[in-house]
Amino acid sequence: MRITNKPILLVEDDHVDTMTVIRALKDIRVTNPLVRQENGEEALNYLRDSNNDRPCIILLDLNMPIMNGIEFLQVMKNDDQLKVIPVIVLTTSEEQQDKVKSFNLGVAGYMTKPVDYLQFVEVMRSIDTYWTISEMP
């Protein structure tokens, strides 16, 4: 990541998926701290807490309990403070409507989680590469 001191916010309910992300980030030597929240509501609470560092990027799962990814996006993108933070959807769903809804809510990217871990690492590497080159707000 271009900005290394800001955290990456992972909104993910699955423990193994969280482990996968942490491991992949470690494999590709991303040093940013990773903050994990289990659902949309928790993520919003985290984001709205001024004590917390604002993340440089949000990795968002869609299918979560309590508040799912789409609902989270609908709240966040209506919040002037939060809507500038780039959100990358990281999901299992290849449903067209999920993609359409996500992009309508201004996501920066939509990635499907491959079953193969090595492929997953490549996905994470792409994200890192992109956000290393791309300017961030």
Partner 1 sequence: MFKNLTIKTRLTFTLSFLVAFLLGIETLGLWGMSKANDGLKTVYEDNVIPLGQLDHIESLLQQNRLLIAAALVTPTSEIIDNNTAILEKDIEEITKAWEGYMKTYLTPEEEKLASTFAEDQKKFVTEGLRPAIAALRTHEIIEANKIVVEKIRPLYELVKKDIGLLIDIQIDITKQEYKRQQDRYVITRNIFIALIIIALVMVVLISVAVTRVIFRPLEQAVKIANSVTTGDFTQQIDVRSTDEIGQLLQALKEMNDSLVTTVGQLRDSETHVRAMLNNLIEGIITINEYGVIGTFNATAERIFGYTEAEVLNKNVSMLMPVPYRDAHDSYLARYLQTRQKNIIGISREVVGLRKDGTIFPMELAVIETRQGESHIFTGSFRDISARKQAEEQKARLIYELESTQEELKSFAYVVSHDLKAPLRAISALAGWLVHDYSDKFDEKGKEYIDLLIKRVYRMDNLINGILQYSRVGRVKEQSVAVNLDQLVREVIDLLSPPANIVISIENTLPTVLVEPTRIEQVFQNLLFNAIKFMDKPQGEIRIACSSEDQHWKFLIADNGPGIELRHFERIFQLFQTLVPRDRMEGTGVGLSLVKKIVEMYGGKIWLESKVGEGSKFFFTLPKTVIISSN
Residues making contact with partner 1 (CB under 8 A): 14, 16-17, 19-20, 23, 62-63, 91-96, 113-118, 120
Question: 1: how many CB neighbours lie within 10 A of its CB?
Answer: 20
Give whichever of 53 and 95 is closer to partner 1, judged by the CB atom: 95
Say what angle helices 40-48 and 69-76 make with each other, to 10 degrees. Answer: 30
Give whichever of 115 and 133 is closer to partner 1, judged by the CB atom: 115
Say what angle helices 117-133 and 15-27 make with each other, to 10 degrees. Answer: 60
Give whichever of 16 and 133 is closer to partner 1, judged by the CB atom: 16
CB of 114 to partner 1, least distance (A): 8
CB of 11 to partner 1, least distance (A): 15
φ, ψ (nearest 5 deg) of residue 89: -80, 130
Instruction: Return all residues near 9 (Cβ < 8 A) that are at least 6 apart.
Output: 35, 36, 37, 43, 46, 47, 55, 57, 58, 59
CB of 119 to partner 1, least distance (A): 10
Give whichever of 121 and 136 is closer to partner 1, judged by the CB atom: 121
CB of 102 to partner 1, least distance (A): 14
